[in-house]
Amino acid sequence: MFTGLIEEKGTITAVKDLGDSVRLTVRGPLVVSDAQHGDSIAVSGVCLTVMEQDTDSFAADVMKESLDKTSLGDLRVGDEVNLERATRAGARLGGHIVQGHVDGTGRILDRTPSEHWEVVRIALPPDLAKYLVAKGSVTVDGTSLTVVEVVDADEPWFSVSLIPTTLAETTLGTKGPGDRVNLEVDILAKYVERLLGARAEGHVA
């Protein structure tokens, strides 16, 4: 489990095509400082398993399912990614419950800067829009954010406000219109939907 609080920006140093998968090598001195083989690290919101590591980098394999459903297949050497180690039991939950299981990708529509923050609008798949609510939580490229507005339309979108820390310390500070981002909706919303659906069908008392 993760919290959506990015620990550092990493850099892709190698992309190796393995046929039905890709091995990414990521430089991230902080997240590998205590990493071991088999540990989980979220790379721009996608939970990956450490296969190899040294003093400042780690390698992880990305399966076809993840390549198809996330933006990791777009990565090239030199690209920056958001990194977070799995949270420890008993640690503070500063963001929200993040699984590292991306539900789909969105595209940045536009950015509106102001004096102290930036409002970013993101288009999302219609089947994910129902899980978002104003003042609720959403994970964008691994970053826990609060939804400002949700618009249900033929082409739904939502907006988030990025504070200076988020702009400076995550990749969301440099992404522009048209860029793809990984989205994970709040798992609690999906559990509620499942329970209400079961009750409507008479499976839950």
pLDDT tier at 99 (50, 70, 90 boundaries)? confident
pLDDT tier at 189 (50, 70, 90 boundaries)? confident
Would you say residue 120 has pLDDT above 90? Answer: yes
CB within 8 A of 111, min separation 6: which ones?
118, 119, 120, 121, 176, 177
User: What confidence score (pLDDT) does residue 81 get?
Assistant: 98
Are 119 and 158 a contacting pair, CB within 8 Å? Answer: no
| Distance separating alpha carbons of residues 179 and 91, to the nearest angstrom | 33
Are 58 and 45 a contacting pair, CB within 8 Å? Answer: no
111-118 mean pLDDT? 90
Which has the closest alpha carbon to 57: 11, 113, 6?
Answer: 11
When the pLDDT of each residue in the chain is averaged and rounded to a whole number, the result is 91
User: What confidence score (pLDDT) does residue 151 get?
Assistant: 94
Would you say residue 63 has pLDDT above 80? Answer: yes
For residue 137, which phi and psi values (nearest 5 degrees)? -105, 145
User: What confidence score (pLDDT) does residue 98 get?
Assistant: 85
pTM: 0.90
For residue 185, which phi and psi values (nearest 5 degrees)? -80, 165
| Distance separating alpha carbons of residues 170 and 189, to the nearest angstrom | 25
Q: Determine the 3-state secondary structure of 68 from DSSP.
A: helix
Residue 99 burial (10 A CB sphere; 0-12, 13-18, 19+): middle
| Distance separating alpha carbons of residues 47 and 80, to the nearest angstrom | 16
6-15 mean pLDDT? 97
144-158 mean pLDDT? 93
State both tokens at 47: 């939970």
